[in-house]
């Protein structure tokens, strides 16, 4: 059961709900989604932070995004669908969505977190967004959460559609690298083994000075694609 939060501190949640265009049947759920643990650690109040809701929202977000991609792109392989999902749910992408809706203005932070720039910290923004999705799920089930997620990520889904869906893992990695680090991935041949008719190529891909992935294939192109795929999987796993 979600405790009632003090009325004076419910106002940020009310304003956020209005900005999102979502009516919560149980407003304290949205209030809880905005409470960073730093505030509760400092205040000592017997209330719950947004961390458990973040955990739930992360899972709900993955289901909704996966379902939409599965339905929108019936010819894409599992690997390609996974790459597109990773682009949409990685922490920096979620932080960008949170910034777009001004989520940082509504977070309830401790003084130390506030002074250290926590209101604009990408990890706090992404966590807060996932917590809001979790709150929507608890308030109105998967249908309510889906409505919210599709509204929040509408520009991102439209960008994927506009870019086209034929991009391979190399193209996806290049997009991520340029967006995130303003770098272009570099592919390097590590080894070439076996007879001419059955060579096995090993290629690694680096962004800047950091090796992001390694792949093998019967030709260099396939090895590069596999290296890029591994890099995308690593980025998705580490956020």
pLDDT per position as a tens digit, 37-54: 887 777 667 678 899 999
Q: Residue 105 catalytic? A: no
Q: For the domain covering 169-238, report its CATH number.
A: 3.30.160.20
Query: Where exactly are the structural domains of the chain?
Result: 7-163, 169-238
Q: For residues 91 and 126, is the Cβ–Cβ distance under 8 A?
A: yes
Whole-angstrom distance, CA of residue 229 vs CA of residue 136? 33
14, 46, 54, 58: which one is catalytic? 58
Tokens 């059955």 locate to: 198
Q: Which of 41-45, 55-59, 232-236 has the highest mean pLDDT?
A: 55-59
Residue 11 pLDDT grade (very low, low, confident, very high; cuts 50, 70, 90): low
pLDDT per position as a tens digit, 202-226: 999 999 889 999 999 989 988 998 8
Residues 6+ positions from 191 with CB-CB distance below 8 Å: 201, 202
Separation in Å, CA 161 to CA 43, 93, 166, 188, 193:
46, 17, 10, 31, 40
pLDDT per position as a tens digit, 165-200: 545 678 878 888 888 899 999 999 999 998 887 889
Instruction: Give the pLDDT score at 164.
Output: 62
DSSP label at residue 182: S
Looking at the DSSP bridge assignments, the partners of residue 158 are none
Whole-angstrom distance, CA of residue 149 vs CA of residue 129? 10
Q: Pick the range with the lowest mean pLDDT from 39-53, 115-129, 146-160, 221-235.
A: 39-53
210: enclosing H helix or E strand: strand 210-217
Phi-psi region of 182 (alpha: psi -120 to 50; beta: other; left: phi over 0): left
Q: For residues 83 and 232, is the Cβ–Cβ distance under 8 A?
A: yes
Q: Residue 58 catalytic? A: yes
Q: For the domain covering 7-163, report its CATH number.
A: 1.10.1520.10
pTM of the model: 0.69
Instruction: Give the pLDDT score at 8.
Output: 38
pLDDT exceeds 90 at position 20: no
130, 139, 156, 204: which one is catalytic? 130
Instruction: Give the pLDDT score at 234.
Output: 84
């Amino acid at each position: 059961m979600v405790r009632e939060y003090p009325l004076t501190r419910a106002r940020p949640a009310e304003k956020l709900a209005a900005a999102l265009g979502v009516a919560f049947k149980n407003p304290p759920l949205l209030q809880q989604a905005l409470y960073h643990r730093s505030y509760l650690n400092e205040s000592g109040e017997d209330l719950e932070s947004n961390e458990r809701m973040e955990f739930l929202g992360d899972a709900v977000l993955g289901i909704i995004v996966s379902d939409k991609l599965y339905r929108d792109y019936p010819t894409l392989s599992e690997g390609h669908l996974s790459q597109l999902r990773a682009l949409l749910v990685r922490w920096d992408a979620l932080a960008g969505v949170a910034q777009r809706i001004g989520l940082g203005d509504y977070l309830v932070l401790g003084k130390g977190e506030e002074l250290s720039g926590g209101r604009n910290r990408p990890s706090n923004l992404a966590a807060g967004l996932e917590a809001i999705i979790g709150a929507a799920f608890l308030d109105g089930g998967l249908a309510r959460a889906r409505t919210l997620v599709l509204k929040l990520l509408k520009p991102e889904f439209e960008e994927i559609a506009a870019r086209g869906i034929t991009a391979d893992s190399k193209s996806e990695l290049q997009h991520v690298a340029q967006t995130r680090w303003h770098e272009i991935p570099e592919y390097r041949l590590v080894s070439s083994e076996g007879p001419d008719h059955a060579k096995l190529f090993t290629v690694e891909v680096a962004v800047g000075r950091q090796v992001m992935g390694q792949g093998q294939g019967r030709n260099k192109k396939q090895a590069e694609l596999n290296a890029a795929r591994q890099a995308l999987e690593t980025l998705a796993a580490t956020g």
